[in-house]
Copies of this chain bind each other. A is one copy, B any other.
């Protein structure tokens, strides 16, 4: 995938405009443009996002948890640089998933400072892993999901990610019933909170409770921010936002 520079003439064909291309070449550095100038993208560059994620992984104290997280992130590291977090619901743009993770990590860091009883390693790991199989669940290009993979439909990203924990445990010869393995699988499996939202078990550790609400908070606030950004300053109301009870948002003038 690459950017091209095109020169052409616009003509009318059967009453619709049509571009007749006269010259075409690949974009060069001198053009000073990049892919994210032309598509919706996270407000932070993906290199920077990945750097934050890797730095947080390094900061995990428990070596077993750190290894598990590293293994799973490595599986999708290339796609993590550009995949959206969802098809339409939220963060549906270039590097949306990485941006979602980084913002959640900031909230998680704050909450662990605010409430000492939360286990920070589990919060960090849970945030990085909760949607880690989404790049294998969805098929996306330029931040746009075009379809779901066969595994994505038949297994789903939640059970896929839980399976990756099993895989890494076996490869690294970690006991499948260790607190780390069970604890991380529980975080992934329960993070949608309810069965009707896709979680086969409900949150049963403090960190699982936290993870679900950090996820919801970040996703909903991002939907609000993106809807307002997508609306002209002169408009008082955004378009209806599906993930916000299908309500339009009002732009207050304070």
Assess the B252–A200 pair: CB atoms within 8 A. no
CA distance A245 to B193 in the complex (A): 9
The segment out of A14-22, A34-42, A92-100, A103-111 that lies at the interface is: A103-111
Shortest distance between the CB of A205 and any CB in chain B (Å): 5
CA distance A158 to B199 in the complex (A): 11
Assess the B156–A204 pair: CB atoms within 8 A. no
Question: Within A151-205, which residues are at the interface with B (CB < 8 Å)?
Answer: 151, 153-156, 158-159, 162-163, 166-167, 170-171, 176-177, 179-180, 182-183, 185-186, 189, 193-205
Q: Which of A62, A154, A177, A196 has the most CB of B within 10 A?
A: A154
Shortest distance between the CB of A109 and any CB in chain B (Å): 10
CA distance A113 to B223 in the complex (A): 18
Interchain CB contact (< 8 A) of A155 among B155, B182, B203: B182
Assess the A221–B198 pair: CB atoms within 8 A. no
Q: Which of A186, A206, A220, A244 has the most CB of B within 10 A?
A: A206
Determine whether A224 belongs to the interface, using a CB cutoff of 8 Å to chain B. Answer: yes
Determine whether A54 belongs to the interface, using a CB cutoff of 8 Å to chain B. Answer: no
CA distance A206 to B230 in the complex (A): 14
Determine whether A232 belongs to the interface, using a CB cutoff of 8 Å to chain B. Answer: no
Assess the B236–A150 pair: CB atoms within 8 A. yes
Assess the B201–A155 pair: CB atoms within 8 A. yes
Shortest distance between the CB of A57 and any CB in chain B (Å): 17
Determine whether A80 belongs to the interface, using a CB cutoff of 8 Å to chain B. Answer: no
Determine whether A119 belongs to the interface, using a CB cutoff of 8 Å to chain B. Answer: yes
Assess the B186–A249 pair: CB atoms within 8 A. no
* Besides A162-B162, A194-B195, A202-B244, 14 new A-B residue pairs in contact (Cβ under 8 A), listed by A number: A110-B110, A118-B221, A154-B183, A154-B250, A155-B185, A156-B200, A163-B185, A166-B167, A170-B170, A180-B254, A196-B196, A205-B251, A209-B220, A213-B221
Task: Give A residues with C-beta under 8 Å from B.
Answer: 62, 103, 106-107, 110-111, 114-115, 117-119, 121-122, 150-151, 153-156, 158-159, 162-163, 166-167, 170-171, 176-177, 179-180, 182-183, 185-186, 189, 193-207, 209-210, 213-214, 216-217, 220-221, 223-225, 228-229, 236, 244-245, 247-254
